[in-house]
Structure 1
Amino acid sequence: MKRIFRRCFIALCFIISAFSAEAQFDNIVNKTPAERYTALRKFIDLSISNGNRADGYKSLETLKQVAIKHNDQDLVLETELMLIMLNREAHKDDHKQHIMDLHALITKSQKAGNKQIHIRARRFLAHLYWYDTQNYERAFEEYLTIHPMLKKISEKDFPEKAYFLTQIGEAYYFFADYRNAINFSREALTVEVIKEQRGVHNLAMNTIGLSYMKTGLLDSADSYFKKILQHVGIDDYNVWKGIAQGALGQTAYLRGKYDQAIPLLQANVNQALIISDYDQAARSLTLLSDIYFRQGKISEAEKAMLQARGCIAHSGMKKPLEQLFQVYGKVYAAKGNFALTNVYLDSATHMRNLFEKDFNSMQMLRASEKAQLQAHRADMEHIAAEKQIKTLERNILLTLVLLLLMVALYFYKTYYYKTREKQRIVNDQLKKAEQELTFATIQLEEFTKSISEKNLLVEKLSARYGMNESEETVLELQKITILTDEQWEYFRSLFEQIHTGYLSRLKTKLPGLTPAEVRFMALAKLNLTYKEMASTLGISVQSVRVIRHRIRKKLNLPEEADLKDVVSTI
């Protein structure tokens, strides 16, 4: 009797647990995506993001069984997506398997006609490409595939629509395509959001403001940062207030309004440290250290520098180091430690070159072109197939004529695609040449700008500390601007890309020029002043004049003739 009672009790417990498991999913089963959005977000937070993997797998298995029992196929796909998310949290290095699982789910959701799972799976795939494998080109392909689908679905059916648009905008901002960053973020602002997504509009406005700031439209940037201050909720007030204050502090810094910038940047630092956003804190501290340097507060600048360096170490983000190293160079130059000045200026240049290499916006351009070409081909094939089917249905009695037409169409399409492909290759080559020329032009401008900035730094420091050109300190500073042979070779390659054949024509027209005179003519082509030429060549201004005199003599130029006219005609 006891045994029977025990078995009944166990069975009863099992039934109760089964009913309780189903009961907790009543607000999820057989609901629309919008109706179960909030409940699913809570379920994800509890089962995937809480760190307890075993409980997470158990909860997902229970949810899947409930979905199967109630024949909720959309919820089955939802659990499969969440399982991939959990697997990624549990096995972060197994990128290949996660990507394969997502591709399988994308195919399955397409067959089932589930648009919201299809979009979310592709968005998560883009996330993996971006953050786990750093394959930015593939990530942009997914984003560009998602966007047309987002246009065809309403925010009521897909509550995450605005958030996904802001992510695309952020991706473009990351690659310095500010026009597209603004366009996608503005599109996100036109989408209504639910309570759980209210911070998305702040994110979009922040991206727009930062994009305007990068393009020098500071008033437009300020207008969006101020809108954020007017558009914050109770729970996220301090976070977004700190972000907006930091952004307004940056625009004040760029305007040179340092007294206005300091309290805003400091407020941003304080809030960022509260939420452990060390990257944001490091950026504001770097600006503060530069402001203190400009105000002559060297000790405060050093304190802010050290704090910024500590925040960068915590965040692991190296991007702020470029500007921070520049501030280090200025501070150590002011303290007379020119060895460390050189080290930090070189480090700043190295960091800039490193990031330019790692994050090349050309990847985005290639992804865009590839996606557009694939979409165009797919549309053409789809149109051709429909046309053939309709023609066959309407003209079943004219099979022979239709066959001839199809053969003719095949040859026409073959010729069309070959011609189009050749034109595409020509266009690609032209675009590549233009891009290389643009890049070389920017690099050469930065090269000459660097010479001017370093020369100006020497002059400012000399003026500030009352040093004359004969003093050893000034001579040490001037060594910073002298180019090495290796740098001359790099300069020569950039110069040849912009002014193709100039040096060859110069040797042909003036075969007797010395290397120093050739360099003088190259720098003269860039309209450098004699002082900048002297700094670059590591000689005195008088020596530059002597070189100019020798060239004039070789050219038999009269005194009233301008050497610049000769330079411009070569």
Structure 2
Amino acid sequence: MKRLVQRHPILIFTFLTLLCHTGQAQFDNWINKPHAARYQQIRTYITLNVLGTDTASAFQSIARLKTVAEKAGDDDLILEADYIHALLTAEILSIPRRKVLMEISRLISKAEKEDNLQIQIRARILLRHYYWYVTKNYEKGFEEYFKIYPLLQKTTGKEFPEKSVTLAQMGEAYYFFADYKNAINYSRQALNAEVIFEHRGVHNTAMNTIGLSYVKEGMLDSADYYFNKILHNVGIGDYDVWKGIAQGDLGQTAYLRGDYEKAIPLLLGNTHQAVIISDFDQAARSMTLLSDIYFRQNRLPDSESAMKKAREFVQRSRILKPLEQLFQVYGKVYAAQGNIALTNVYLDSANKMRDTFAKEFNSIQMLRATERSKLQEHRADMEHMWAERQIKTLERNILLILIVLLIFVALYFYKTYYYKAREKERIVNDQLKRAEQELAFAGIQLEEFTRSISEKNQLVEELSTRYGISPNDDAVQELQRITILTDDQWEYFRGLFEKIHKGYLSRLKEKLPGLTPAEIRFMALAKLNLSYKEMASTLGISVQSVRVIRHRLRKKLNLPEEADLKDVVGSI
């Protein structure tokens, strides 16, 4: 080979390039096609290039497939490559089971994330297969069926060609565990599912499972109905094989009815076809029934011959199940011949075989029950954790709701308080503004009042001085009367005075409780800095009377002559 490469390097390079291009061209035909369109091509590829070659070459081929898919941006084909990789990994017994399970689980998660339904189903079918045949964890296998079934309801046989096959396998699994009701149920669904041309034989598998389930239930007529449908389903490529199987099934129901003449040709036909396809277990079962029929017909030589052939088929198949009934026939034949010793030996062997098979089946059932118990415990733990998580989530949500409510309540009260405070402030401001306006107005009026008194007094003086008018003149007397405060005017004046000098009169009464009304009026006018003349005009008395009032006040206040009364007025 080394010499060939040295002599013809260009030829070798061209050959390798062509080989790689051919492989890539094969994958190019799969790009951006739905699962059903490339189903047969991928199925053939897996058979020849993955499972039909060495491991290293298979992994390299899968890597090339994934590279082509990634370059083309075909996400479905990328997942397809991952699925084939997981399939090959599951076939290699030297790879640790944990690693295989992790790879399949990752594939399922990835398919769920990308919403790829067909990869989800196929990956779970692969996981179920691994649980069933490698780890012998039958209950987990059924768990996967429970997850696969609702996914199957979302697709059709045209979109997912494996649908009918998967349903038929579910029926067989239930039949294996003697759950004949579910075996019939899922097998019937397989019959109703659409199938592609290459899968037409799956209907025979489903009908066979239904028929065998009816046999176990003792409903032989119903069983014969489905076995006859298999016998007449001639449109499939392996019709001869299924014809032989159907003949064996019909021969068994005829045997159970005691219709031996009908059973014999059917069982012989089944045996003949089984030998052709090397199904020696099926041949052993049919030949065992024939040996028992011949014994019941008192055809002992034929029965012995059939027994020997049945024993030979058992040895070739290495499946011991037919031996239980075969040893019973041996015992009956030897008993008829008077050979008690061999009779006892074979009857004991038949009992041992029955006990062995019963123990094996019970062990499998017990294993499944144990696994179911573990799964239930696991599920209970998961549900408990989920419930705790839900409670914590609920508590968190309630806390968040309470916090939000508290925030809303706080905001409500804050806004209420804020608006009330604003309103209160506005009212106070309005009141202050009105008070200021009233005070200013009162000040103007009081100022106007004092100015009016001053102007009137000046007018009287001017008339008296300039025009020589006597104070007793009527005009002067009228002017003087106008300046005198009446009781009503005094109350009005007092109101204005209290607004300007708030609390002054009250404080005056408190400090000087013995003052007369005239003295109080004097003190108020003195606060306005009115002269004695202006006071006299306002009070309607003479200036001398004003001085008298002043003198009395000084006495009451014990003021010396040099003290100024204005200081007292200003201090109140």
TM-score interval (norm. to shorter): 0.5 to 0.7
Report the CA distance between 1:125 and its aligned residue: 2.3
What does residue 197 of structure 1 align with? 199
- 1:29-108 to 2 correspondence within 5 Å? 29-50=31-52, 53=55, 55-91=57-93, 95=97, 97-108=99-110
What does residue 403 of structure 2 align with? 399
Unaligned 5+ residue runs, structure 2? Answer: 1-7, 407-572
What does residue 299 of structure 1 align with? 301
Distance 2:267 2:97 in 1: 39
Aligned-residue CA RMSD (Å) = 3.4
What does residue 276 of structure 1 align with? 278
Residue number among 128, 131, 140 corresponding to 2:130 in the alignment: 128
Change in CA separation of 1:250 and 1:44 when aligned onto 2, cut-off 3 Å:
same
TM-score, reference length from structure 2:
0.62
- Asked whether the 8 Å contact 2:211–2:226 carries over to 1, the reply is yes
TM-score, reference length from structure 1:
0.63
- 1:289-368 to 2 correspondence within 5 Å? 289-360=291-362, 361-364=365-368
Structure of greater relative contact order (alpha carbons < 8 Å, 6+ residues apart): 1
What does residue 157 of structure 1 align with? 159
Report the CA distance between 1:138 and its aligned residue: 2.7
What letter is aligned with 2:320?
A: K
2:143 paired with 1:141: yes
Distance 1:76 1:306 in 2: 56
Distance 2:96 2:260 in 1: 48
Distance 2:159 2:291 in 1: 48
The residue matched to 1:187 in structure 2 has which SS?
A: helix
Change in CA separation of 1:280 and 1:48 when aligned onto 2, cut-off 3 Å:
farther
What letter is aligned with 1:398?
A: L
Distance 2:260 2:289 in 1: 10
Distance 1:67 1:191 in 2: 31
What letter is aligned with 1:333?
A: A
The residue matched to 1:318 in structure 2 has which SS?
A: coil
Distance 1:201 1:117 in 2: 24
- 1:406-555 to 2 correspondence within 5 Å? none
Report the CA distance between 1:306 and its aligned residue: 1.7
Residue number among 226, 229, 242 corresponding to 2:228 in the alignment: 226
What letter is aligned with 1:242?
A: G
- Asked whether the 8 Å contact 2:168–2:190 carries over to 1, the reply is yes
- Asked whether the 8 Å contact 1:249–1:260 carries over to 2, the reply is yes
Distance 1:93 1:308 in 2: 40
The residue matched to 2:338 in structure 1 has which SS?
A: coil
What does residue 119 of structure 1 align with? 121
What does residue 452 of structure 2 align with? none
Distance 1:146 1:211 in 2: 23
Residue number among 244, 247, 250 corresponding to 2:249 in the alignment: 247
Report the CA distance between 1:17 and its aligned residue: 3.9
Q: Which moved more, 1:361-370 or 1:32-41?
A: 361-370
Report the CA distance between 1:93 and its aligned residue: 8.3
Distance 1:372 1:389 in 2: 25
Report the CA distance between 1:270 and its aligned residue: 0.8
- Tell me the matched-pair count: 399
Change in CA separation of 1:102 and 1:367 when aligned onto 2, cut-off 3 Å:
same
- Asked whether the 8 Å contact 1:165–1:185 carries over to 2, the reply is yes
Report the CA distance between 1:92 and its aligned residue: 6.9
What letter is aligned with 1:217?
A: M
What does residue 461 of structure 1 align with? none
Report the CA distance between 1:291 and its aligned residue: 0.6
Change in CA separation of 1:137 and 1:316 when aligned onto 2, cut-off 3 Å:
farther
Distance 2:86 2:49 in 1: 13
Unaligned 5+ residue runs, structure 1? Answer: 1-5, 403-570
Report the CA distance between 1:149 and its aligned residue: 2.3
Distance 2:311 2:40 in 1: 40
- Asked whether the 8 Å contact 2:156–2:194 carries over to 1, the reply is no
Change in CA separation of 1:321 and 1:352 when aligned onto 2, cut-off 3 Å:
same
What letter is aligned with 2:84?
A: M
Change in CA separation of 1:158 and 1:84 when aligned onto 2, cut-off 3 Å:
same
Change in CA separation of 1:178 and 1:118 when aligned onto 2, cut-off 3 Å:
same
Question: Deviation per CA, 1:219-274, whole angstroms, max 9, x where unpaired?
Answer: 00000011112223341110111111110000000000111001101111111111
Report the CA distance between 1:22 and its aligned residue: 2.2
Question: Deviation per CA, 1:173-212, whole angstroms, max 9, x where unpaired?
Answer: 1111111111111111111111111111110000000000
- Asked whether the 8 Å contact 1:286–1:304 carries over to 2, the reply is yes
Percent of pairs with identical residues: 52
- Asked whether the 8 Å contact 1:258–1:291 carries over to 2, the reply is yes
Change in CA separation of 1:198 and 1:375 when aligned onto 2, cut-off 3 Å:
farther
Report the CA distance between 1:394 and its aligned residue: 11
Q: Which moved more, 1:172-181 or 1:75-84?
A: 75-84
Distance 2:321 2:97 in 1: 25
- Asked whether the 8 Å contact 2:157–2:196 carries over to 1, the reply is no
Report the CA distance between 1:96 and its aligned residue: 5.2
Distance 1:180 1:291 in 2: 33
Distance 1:274 1:151 in 2: 39
- Asked whether the 8 Å contact 2:137–2:371 carries over to 1, the reply is no
Distance 2:234 2:398 in 1: 62
Distance 2:384 2:188 in 1: 31
Change in CA separation of 1:72 and 1:141 when aligned onto 2, cut-off 3 Å:
same
Q: Which moved more, 1:136-145 or 1:290-299?
A: 136-145
**Larger radius of gyration, structure 1 or 2?**
2
Change in CA separation of 1:9 and 1:300 when aligned onto 2, cut-off 3 Å:
closer
Q: Which moved more, 1:56-65 or 1:115-124?
A: 56-65
- Asked whether the 8 Å contact 1:140–1:367 carries over to 2, the reply is no
Change in CA separation of 1:91 and 1:368 when aligned onto 2, cut-off 3 Å:
closer
What does residue 207 of structure 1 align with? 209
What does residue 562 of structure 1 align with? none
What letter is aligned with 1:185?
A: S
Distance 2:66 2:398 in 1: 48
- Asked whether the 8 Å contact 1:202–1:232 carries over to 2, the reply is no
Distance 2:122 2:137 in 1: 19
Report the CA distance between 1:377 and its aligned residue: 8.3
Change in CA separation of 1:344 and 1:25 when aligned onto 2, cut-off 3 Å:
same
- Asked whether the 8 Å contact 2:184–2:209 carries over to 1, the reply is yes
Distance 2:237 2:123 in 1: 29
- Asked whether the 8 Å contact 1:169–1:183 carries over to 2, the reply is yes
Change in CA separation of 1:105 and 1:306 when aligned onto 2, cut-off 3 Å:
farther
Distance 1:210 1:92 in 2: 37
Distance 1:206 1:314 in 2: 24
Change in CA separation of 1:373 and 1:87 when aligned onto 2, cut-off 3 Å:
closer
Change in CA separation of 1:324 and 1:400 when aligned onto 2, cut-off 3 Å:
farther
Distance 1:39 1:162 in 2: 19
Distance 2:271 2:402 in 1: 78
What does residue 188 of structure 2 align with? 186
What letter is aligned with 1:112?
A: E
